[in-house]
Amino acid sequence: MSVIALDVGGTHIKGAVVADGELLEAEEWHTHAHRGPDAVIETVLQCAEELRARAVRYGSEPRAAGIVVPGLVDESEGSALFAANLGWHDFPVRLWLAEHLDLPVAFGHDVRAGGVAESRLGAGRGCTDFAFVPVGTGIAAALIIGGRPYAGHSGFAGEFGHMVVRPDGEPCSCGNRGCVEAYASASAIARRYAAITGRTGLSAKDIQHQARDGDRVADRIWTEAVECLADGLAALTAVLDLERVVIGGGLAKAGEPYLAPLRRALAERLTFRRPPHLVPAQLGPRAGSLGAALLAQDLLDGRIR
Ligand SMILES: [Zn+2]
């Protein structure tokens, strides 16, 4: 008995076939979001059909599907309310996919599903209260509270990247200024370095290497990125009493040269209490699709409706 899973992102769609908790197949396709929302919907369906065919080749007809998407989602309604990078507005994803596949479908938010996967299979195991914080082009958080993903009143919880840590600071894509994301995301690091030096086309990783090699501008921007992220994580910890912080996304790949200063900066800010353990994520870019598979399995097991 298998489930198929889809993690639909702005650049890639990641798919998985999971049977009895074992990953049978993992695949990745281009989203080609520039072709418009309807074309993306068509592509998602083709990917789902391909995953189903692969499951059948394993002799394991899928019993359910899981799909997770970015942006603002209503998990109870099964709708993508606003996914800017897919062009989707008020799209009833769960209903649509269930009708087309003739399967029960579980629906969720990509980062929260990634948090569920890290919680059960990865760096969050054995921990009931933690934040999974992928740091990449943007920054978000999945909050696992009391062992369960916390979606908030409207399903918008976890917009950690838009916590203001530098009032009147750098402009952010959300329209506000001084957000964590405007300093600490990979794209912010690249953008800020280019703005000061005029050198475009360098990635956050390149800029980290520049800093290591004595480039003072690069060093300052990296340090600010770490400090702003630590400011946000300290506030989150003060409010939620987190036991662990799991850092994922592209920047976590930098490993200890990134995580050790972040750990120190977080500890410095939490003057009145022990800081949470700060650890790298374990599932990498597969966290979302594995989370989608877990949601689909939960649906079959009657753990969610
Ligand atoms: Zn913002």
CATH number at residue 48: 3.30.420.40
Three-state SS for 74-121 is ECCCCEEEEECCCCEEEECHHHHHHHHHCCCEEEEEHHHHHHHHHHHH
pLDDT value at position 85? 84
Tell me the pLDDT band of 305, cut-offs 50, 70 and 90.
Answer: low
Residue 238 lies in domain: 123-282
The edge-to-edge listing of strands for the beta sheet with 62-69 is 22-30, 12-19, 2-8, 62-69, 105-109
The reply to whether 167 and 278 lie within a common domain is yes
Q: How far is the CA of 180 from the centre of ligand 1 (A)?
A: 7
Q: How confident is the model at residue 15 (pLDDT cuts 50, 70, 90)?
A: very high
Q: In whole numbers, what is the pLDDT of the chain averaged over residues?
A: 95
- Same domain? For 78 and 184 the reply is no
Task: Report CA(103)–ligand 1 centroid distance (Å).
Answer: 37
Together in a domain, 216 and 132: yes
pLDDT for the residue 23: 94
Under the banding of pLDDT at 50, 70 and 90, the label for residue 155 is: confident
- Collect residues with CB below 5 Å from ion ligand 1: 162, 172, 174, 176, 179
Same domain, 129 and 272: yes
Q: Is the pLDDT of residue 131 over 80?
A: yes
**Region 80-96 average pLDDT:** 92
Number of domains in the chain: 2
- Which residues does 126 contact at the CB level (< 8 Å), separation at least 6? none
Region 112-116: mean pLDDT is: 97
| Inter-residue contact 60 to 24 (CB < 8 Å) | yes
Q: What pLDDT score was predicted for residue 64?
A: 98
Residue 116 placed within a domain: no
Quote the ligand 1 centre to 96 CA distance (angstroms): 31
Ligand 1 centre distance from Cα of residue 161 (Å): 6
**Quick one: average pLDDT of 208-234?**
97
Report CA(84)–ligand 1 centroid distance (Å): 14
141/276 same-domain check: yes
Q: How far is the CA of 168 from the centre of ligand 1 (A)?
A: 12
Q: Is residue 152 part of a domain?
A: yes
Are 92 and 154 members of one domain? no
Judged against a pLDDT cut of 70, whether residue 179 lies above it is answered with yes
Ligand 1 centre to CA of 158 (Å) is 12
pLDDT of 304 strictly over 80: no
- Considering the domain architecture, whether residues 132 and 254 belong to the same structural domain is answered as yes
Query: Global pTM?
Result: 0.94
Distance in angstroms between the alpha carbons of the first and the last residue of the chain? 19
| In a shared domain, residues 178 and 135 | yes
Sheet containing 88-91: order of strands: 72-74, 79-83, 88-91
Question: What are the Cα distances from residue 128, in Å, to 104, 116, 158, 209, 294?
Answer: 28, 11, 16, 36, 17
Residue 16 domain-assigned? Answer: yes
